[in-house]
């Protein structure tokens, strides 16, 4: 005879909450997609800024992005400081000075091509 495992009622409730939150997040992303795309196209107009935004993936430092975009590191900091209050980038938890876009331009249908000179992020 096989003993049937029973889940803890509290864990079952947490699982249901997690599932519902996941569903809510999916619908919120769907609903926010077009307004976000319009906002990003208004704010991020130049090819250079699109490149900086795409490279702001939480893996690369400001120095790495500056090198790839052929701008100074202080310029990357200025750009990030203008984007942070808009909520289009967030600081990566557990790091100091690395940021991540809330979603890539490509995910929104805004074509952005990274130049072949852009390598993989460093592992620091």
Give me the helices (H) in 8-91, please. Answer: 9-43, 47-55, 62-69, 73-83
Q: What is the mean pLDDT of the chain?
A: 89
* Residue pLDDT, tens place only, 53-79: 999 999 999 999 999 999 999 999 999
Average pLDDT over residues 36-52: 92
Q: Which two tokens stand for residue 120?
A: 């993989």
Reported as a pLDDT band with limits 50, 70 and 90, residue 112 is: confident
SS3 of residue 57 by DSSP: strand
Q: Which two tokens stand for residue 113?
A: 């091509």
pTM of the predicted structure, to 2 decimals: 0.74
C-alpha to C-alpha distance for 54 and 42, rounded to whole angstroms: 16
The pLDDT, as a whole number, for residue 30 is 87
* Residue pLDDT, tens place only, 91-105: 999 988 899 999 999
The structural domains of the chain, ordered by start, are 10-108 (1.10.10.10)
């Amino acid at each position: 005879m096989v003993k049937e495992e029973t889940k803890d009622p509290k864990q079952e409730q947490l699982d249901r909450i997690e599932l519902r939150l996941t569903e809510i997040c999916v619908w919120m992303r769907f609903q926010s997609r077009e307004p976000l795309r319009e906002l990003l196209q208004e704010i991020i107009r130049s090819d250079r800024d699109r490149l900086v935004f795409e490279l702001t993936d939480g893996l690369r430092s400001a120095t790495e992005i500056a090198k790839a975009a052929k701008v100074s590191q202080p310029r990357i900091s200025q750009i990030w400081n203008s984007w942070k209050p808009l909520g289009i980038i967030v600081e990566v938890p557990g790091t100091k000075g690395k940021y991540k876009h809330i979603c890539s331009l490509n995910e929104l249908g805004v074509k952005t091509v990274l130049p072949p000179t852009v390598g993989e992020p460093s592992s620091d």
